[in-house]
Amino acid sequence: MRTVVSVSDTVVETPSTITLRFPYAPSAEPGQFVMVWFPGDDELPMSLSYTDGVSKGVTVKAMGDTSRRVLALAPGATLGVRGPYGNHFDLTPRRVLVVGGGSGTAVLAPAAEGAIAQGAQVTVALGATRASELLFKDRLIQARARVKVATDDGSEGMEGYVTGLAASLLDQEPFDAVWTCGPEVMMRKVCAAASEHEVPVFCSVERHMKCALGMCDACALGPYHVCIDGPVFPAERLINSEDFARFHRDPSGRRVPFGGPAPA
């Protein structure tokens, strides 16, 4: 069920983020993810940052041991890919606010491009810790999105969290939908800001995954399984969940708080 592919191209996007491009024929929609196996290492769920055509791509931030090793990969590296899995963004809304935090923008970029190609007006609130960590800013500008920037340290754009930028954009103009991906605390705030204006929000959520087939329960999030019921969830499925922005499950299945102690 896996296809072994060879990395055709690597792009260092930011000091902590790399894009791997590889030929993978199955058709995919923006928002979907693949399971990427680094032979001899782990297999991880990764949202596709490039969904069109055969040349797919994932954009990986160095977070754990495996993703740190991924950052050192070069063209020619071998991967096992399966998928795509999960649901995707609905690209039909006409006025979309995209709110991307850090590497979360990886899954939002192809959605923004797809919506613009269908005639939507897309505004992007792009956030990162600092200017050098802004992901896909040029790509989004090139796609004719209106890009607004916030950085935690003020090194580019508005100083502060992207949630504040998103909230002010929502105050200023009407949107038909908000798409967001990033830390769940951030997404929760985006949901709250958009709900004041009754704008529907769709969040791309990440959980530890093993099977990606709705079987093993590793990615359980309340009554949902992120792999088959997500990874894109309408806000109303998340905001009343005890887990959203608060708990995830470690590989043993223990429910642990975000930012809590690492598993044994």
Partner 1 sequence: MAELGVRLAGITLRGPFLLASGIWGESGESLAGAWRAGAGGVITKSIGAAPRLGYPNPTIEVYDQWGMLNAMGLPNPGIDEYPKEIEIARRAGATVIGSVFAGDETEFARLSERIEASGVQAIELNLSCPHAEGFGTEVGSEPADVERIVRAVVQRVHLPVIAKITPNTPDPAALAVAAERGGAAAISAINTLRALAVDVTLRRPVLAHGLGGLSGPAIKPIGLACVWQIYEKVRIPVIGVGGIRTGTDALEYVMAGARALEVGTAITFDGIGIFARLNQELSERLDALGYARLEDAVGAAHSPPS
Q: Which residues of this protein are in contact with partner 1, per CB under 8 A?
A: 1-2, 4, 35, 37, 39-40, 42-44, 78, 80, 210-211, 213-218, 220, 222-223, 225, 228, 249-255, 263-264
**How far apart are CB 25 and partner 1 at their closest, in Å?**
16
Give the nearer residue to partner 1 in terms of CB position, either 222 or 234: 222
Q: Which amino acid is located at 170 in the chain? A: L
Give the nearer residue to partner 1 in terms of CB position, either 131 or 216: 216
**How far apart are CB 46 and partner 1 at their closest, in Å?**
12
Give the nearer residue to partner 1 in terms of CB position, either 15 or 263: 263
C-alpha 110/C-alpha 52 separation (Å) is 8
Give the nearer residue to partner 1 in terms of CB position, either 15 or 253: 253
- Up-side HSE of residue 156: CA atoms within 13 Å toward CB? 15
**How far apart are CB 34 and partner 1 at their closest, in Å?**
13
**How far apart are CB 32 and partner 1 at their closest, in Å?**
17
CA 60 to chain centre: 10
Helices and strands (DSSP H and E) totals, the chain: 6, 18
Give the nearer residue to partner 1 in terms of CB position, either 116 or 213: 213
**How far apart are CB 50 and partner 1 at their closest, in Å?**
23
Dig out the tokens for 159 from the structure.
């100083």
Residue 216 falls in which region: left (phi positive, over 0), alpha (psi -120 to 50) or beta:
alpha
